[in-house]
Structure 1
Amino acid sequence: MDSLLKHMVHMTGHRDHAMLDLSTITAVQELTGAAQTRILSLGKSGSQTWVRARASIRGDHPARVEDQLEAGRGEPLDLFPALAECLASRAPRAEQGDSAQATMWVPIWIGEQAASCLEIVHSGAFTAEVVHTIDGIVGVYRNFHNLLDYSERDSLTGLLNRKTFDDQLARMLHATPEPPLPGQPERRQQPATGQEQWLAVIDVDHFKLVNDRFGHLYGDEVLILIANMLQSSFRSHDRVFRFGGEEFVVLLRSTTADNACRIIDRFRKAVEAHVFPQVGKVTVSIGFTSIKAYESPVVTLGHADQALYYAKTNGRNQVCHYDQLVADGLLQTVAPTTTVEFF
């Protein structure tokens, strides 16, 4: 009982999703004698659901956050038939294996959706006592996950908020490998050739006119619909934020410049083609830049802002790539100290 209480205190003592994941799988591993425990992310890309390890612990080794750059979008759900059937039937758990080794998947249901899943590999079948312990830990995890989610989400759109962005960008900067010095070999963590991390800043064109002409109620509806399009246009392992007002930010993981531009412009075109209730047509301007490990978050965000400002002052309803604008001589490489406010 003392051990259980210790783990419960540890799980609820964090204000961060990653640390909650680590303390949860550590509790499961120690209290159930599991051989391996993982927290899996479940996300959709097109019509396909993908399973990606978010944190793991094996044997007596310490729990670790999985390398998001290497994990990419993960593996298709089809490779986990027992889990797929569990999700389809909304069952509380799924098991497969025998008396020598068994695996259990426990989806973390939040309302009608399960965006996370606990995977436990056990030497031998799961006893009723072990299942009872797992259910208790999952209940605490779900409740505290909801509390953290509430503090990290924008109340209007449900997107991640500005407070969360700073931490997410810092992690991406930390995970982005620096280029090797001349004469040094490539680092093992170096992503595939041309694969980089990206930051995009999105601003709704003439949004003040929408509020002035149709009222804030319709203005809020425009923001909610754009937030929905952001979530459906970008990949499950990308991160979408609302910065406040009509400004949004996206962090794109591990892709090429051409593909980043294609993904971002696909979203721009989706907004341009949509007919918003009462308001009609709305467009967005977007500036994006690559994320470099040796640049501070302020500089990275400032570069995307500069590209956005160029888009806003050169016709709007377009996507501008900071690095390309600099290469073409259309922008100077001056690092701003503050972000730009748009009207």
Structure 2
Amino acid sequence: MYQPNTIIDHIANFTSQRDTELLAFSLLKSVSNMMNCSSTKIITINKKGDIRSHISFENNHCVVNKTSVEIGGVLRRTFEHMNESSLEAFTLKTKTGYSIIRLLHHDRKSEQFLIINLQGQMGKDHAYILSGILSIYSNFITLLNESQTDELTGLANRKTFDSAISSIFNALPHDYDNVENERRTQNEITAQERRKFWLVMIDIDDFKRVNDKFGHLYGDEILIHLAQIIRSNFRDEDLQFRFGGEEFVILLSAENQMRCIQIIERFRRNVEEYQFPNVDKVTVSIGVVEFKKGTFHVTSIDYADQALYKSKKSGKNQVTFFEDMVSQGIAKKSDIPGGDVDLF
């Protein structure tokens, strides 16, 4: 039987986290240590049935995979069965033992399952402890999500943006085309390192006029519908924020600027063609900048804002790239590179 003080230590550890991914790491480690599992994993699936993330803990190491991951047909059917039958727990007999499957969390976007692989059946004491820990985890992640989510639109809020954008910036790959002392050949640079990211700032055109004419309730309804369009036009891995008021920010992954233009222009047209209730037409102006390691992230936000202002000034309902403004001589980059800035 596990000692109560050790259980409390595990609970204190994972509830000290303020990042959902780190929270998942901590939970997997705690469960693995307490249950003596061969492996544990957390799988998150969106409403379309696609895997959003796959976090596994084995040999005292966590591995995260946010790309396309295939899971076995038996496991997928088990998830579907649990969903259809409103089951929160299911035990699956395997060739090597048992898989204990627990529904960790669900919301309007996704479902999260915990899979514990054991050589034998779980005892009653361990099952009781596990249920208690997962109840605490579920309550905690609900509170964490609520604190990080904009109440009206359901997108991540400005507070989350401020903390997330710094973490994302630190994890960005280097801009190998512009690093003078980079000696690795192009063949040695991985596909992950070649990924490009784009900071997309979106603002609803003439939103104040809508509020003044129809009232704030109709204005809120437009914000809700626009958030739905954002979710349907961008992938789950493209981070989506309500930046404030009628302004939204997307951190988009695209292999090059041409592909980025295609994605954002499709979104702009879909907004223009959408039948918003009580309002004849709603459009958005958009500013975009490539999000690079070589440019401090606060500066990148300013660049995107400059591009957004250019879209507004040039007639609205259009997309402007900051890089195009620089090439046209109507904007210039800051003299302070990202690597030279120290925060205190």
TM-score when scaled to structure 1?
0.85
Question: Does residue 333 in structure 1 map to residue 332 in structure 2?
Answer: yes
Stretches of structure 2 that go unaligned for 5 or more consecutive residues are 337-344
Residue 214 of structure 1 is matched in structure 2 by 214
The one of 88, 92, 99 equivalent to 1:96 is 92
Q: Is 2:170 the partner of 1:174?
A: yes
Change (3 A) 1:284 1:51: closer
Alignment of 1:1-343 (within 5 A): 1-44=4-47, 47=48, 49-53=50-54, 55-59=55-59, 61-63=60-62, 66=64, 71-75=66-70, 80-98=76-94, 100-110=96-106, 114-180=110-176, 181-185=181-185, 190-191=190-191, 195-253=195-253, 255-327=255-327, 329=328, 331-335=330-334
The answer to whether the Cα contact below 8 Å between 2:173 and 2:194 also exists between their aligned partners in 1 is no
Partner amino acid, structure 1, of 2:32: Q
Alpha-carbon distance in 1 for matches of 2:256, 2:125: 49
Instruction: Determine the C-alpha separation between the residues in 1 that align with 2:284 and 2:103.
Output: 37
**Contact 2:46–2:110, Cα closer than 8 Å, also in 1:** no
Deviation of 1:154 (Å)? 1.3
| Contact residue 157 and residue 227 of structure 1 kept, 8 A | yes
Call closer, same or farther: CA 1:100–1:270 in 2, change over 3 Å.
same
CA offsets, 1:175-205, max 9 Å, x none? 2211344422459774358631221100000
> How many residues in Structure 1 have an aligned counterpart in Structure 2?
328
* C-alpha contact 2:175 2:292 (8 A) present in aligned 1: no
Q: What SS class does the counterpart of residue 240 from structure 1 fall into?
A: strand
Q: State how far apart, in whole Å, the 1-side matches of 2:50 and 2:260 are.
A: 21
Normalised by the length of structure 2, the TM-score is: 0.85
Distance 1:227 1:246 in 2: 10
Distance (whole Å) between structure 2 residues aligned to residue 107 and residue 254 of structure 1: 33
Letter in 2 for 1:272: E
Instruction: Determine the C-alpha separation between the residues in 2 that align with 1:112 and 1:221.
Output: 18
**Larger mean Cα displacement after TM superposition, 10-19 or 267-276:** 10-19
> Are the counterparts in 2 of residues 87 and 107 from structure 1 also a CA contact under 8 Å?
no
Q: Tell me: CA distance 1:74–1:208, structure 2 relative to 1, closer, same or farther (3 Å).
A: farther
Indicate how the Cα distance of structure 1 residues 93 and 322 shifts in structure 2: closer, same or farther if over 3 A, else same: farther
- 1:207 deviates by 0.7
> Structure 1 regions of 5+ residues with no counterpart?
338-343
Counterpart of 1:341 in structure 2 is none
Whole-angstrom CA distance in 1 between matches of 2:280 and 2:335: 35
- Report the structure number with the largest CA radius of gyration: 2
